[in-house]
A = this chain, B = another copy of it.
Amino acid sequence: MERTSTGVELRNLRRTFGPVVALDNLNLTLQPGELIALLGPSGCGKTTALRLLAGLDQPDSGEIVVGGKDITAVPASKRNMGMVFQSYSLFPNLTAAENVAFGLRVRRVSKSERLKRAAELLELVGLGEQRDRYPHAMSGGQAQRVALARAIAVQPDVLLLDEPLSALDAKVRTQLRDEIRRLQIEVGITTLFVTHDQEEAMAIADRVGVMRAGNLEQLDLPAVLYARPATPFVASFVGTNNVLPTTVEPNGTVYVLGRALAVAAGSDELAVGQAANALLRPESVSLGHRDGGTDGVAGVVSSTSFFGSVTRLTVKLDAGNFILVDMPSVIARDFSAGAEVLARAMTNEVVIQHQEAVALVDE
């Protein structure tokens, strides 16, 4: 299974569809064996980037270099890529094993050899028993596992995953996500993973690239994206945020939930006195009972959401707006719905945005 991994370079890729600029000068380098996730809302160009790399679409300009070779003009069938799609892409007339063996058959590998390899790969994705099943008799998760095996079977230079999990149930989604990552590390294959789900991107990738309107806004480690977003868009798209109205103070700080906080990198440039929105993470808010102190902004807990080890509280501030607060479930027990609380910022710096910035609620 061990093999040398291949690096990928996308250089100045541009692709327009009529007046729509799907991809506007994209530059992206994947190190050999690295898994990069492209993250963004629909229409941001992430899938276009993946299809260009696969050869299923051609760029207007720019180069695609894989393993040091310029393959921009090579057709899809001659590039050595493995691809998994969002919708089930198995060939309905072939069994699981025949699906996995398809790429080998096209490459004129002998029948015995390709059946042996298909069996191995199905074993690898945990479907050794299902080898003779047809796609319609499989669950969504099984079908995507077979698609994954099929993509890896041809020993591709690069693995391309186009939202492979979005059609699956929540439970299966997380399981398969972890499995893909495990497999990717085991096989050591350079991988591009496209998704609109920030949690998924953060969880699976070595580095995450956040895209917006054809541009790559930031490419970095998940933890860095989360802690030090380069642009307001990244700040609001990655993770959950409370959006709190505030004003830039003369000393360059902003008051958020009763505390003066420094303006963090990745904020919009705003003049003193200008109105702004502060983006505060739910885990960066602490709560105290109102009778226990005077520090913070007053509110009432309106509901609680249990997430296992963490509980998320929705607090209606006396000003009328709502904020989300995450805390360990053990502590959250003290705050049931109706509790009168004081909310306080638990961080030293905060990202701010123009108040007119389009909210990312729902494109």
User: What 3 A-B pairs are tightest by C-beta distance, nearest first?
Assistant: A222-B306, A203-B305, A170-B197
Question: Within 8 Å of chain B (Cβ to Cβ): is A307?
Answer: yes
Residues of B within 8 A of A42 (CB): 169
Are B306 and A223 in touch, CB under 8 angstroms?
Answer: yes
Residues of B within 8 A of A157 (CB): none
Are B171 and A198 in touch, CB under 8 angstroms?
Answer: yes
| CA–CA, A240 and B175, complex, Å | 9
Question: Within 8 Å of chain B (Cβ to Cβ): is A248?
Answer: no
Known: A141-B361, A202-B305, A223-B311. 17 other contacts (CB 8 A): A41-B169, A141-B362, A169-B196, A174-B240, A178-B314, A181-B303, A181-B305, A182-B314, A182-B322, A199-B307, A202-B307, A203-B307, A223-B329, A226-B306, A240-B308, A281-B309, A310-B310
Q: How far is the CB of A308 from chain B (nearest CB, A)?
A: 5
Size category of the A interface is 35 or more
Residues of B within 8 A of A218 (CB): none
A selection of 27 A-B contacts at a CB cut-off of 8 Å is A41-B171, A141-B362, A170-B197, A170-B199, A171-B197, A175-B362, A178-B324, A182-B314, A182-B322, A185-B303, A199-B307, A202-B305, A202-B306, A203-B306, A203-B312, A204-B305, A221-B306, A223-B306, A223-B311, A223-B329, A223-B333, A226-B306, A226-B308, A239-B308, A240-B308, A309-B310, A309-B326
Query: How would residues 24 to 55 of chain A score, 1 for a CB under 8 Å from any chain B CB and 0 otherwise?
Result: 00000000000000000110000000000000
Residues of B within 8 A of A312 (CB): 203
Residues of B within 8 A of A200 (CB): 170
Residues of B within 8 A of A204 (CB): 305
Nearest-neighbor residue (CB-CB) of A223 within chain B: B306
| CA–CA, A172 and B42, complex, Å | 12
Question: Within 8 Å of chain B (Cβ to Cβ): is A110?
Answer: no
| CA–CA, A141 and B359, complex, Å | 14
Binding site for B on A (CB under 8 A): 41-42, 126, 139, 141-142, 169-172, 174-176, 178, 181-182, 185, 196-200, 202-204, 221-223, 226, 237, 239-240, 281, 283, 302-303, 305-312, 314, 322, 324, 326, 329, 333, 337, 360-363
| CB < 8 Å neighbour of A283 from B176, B309, B311 | B309
| CA–CA, A322 and B179, complex, Å | 10
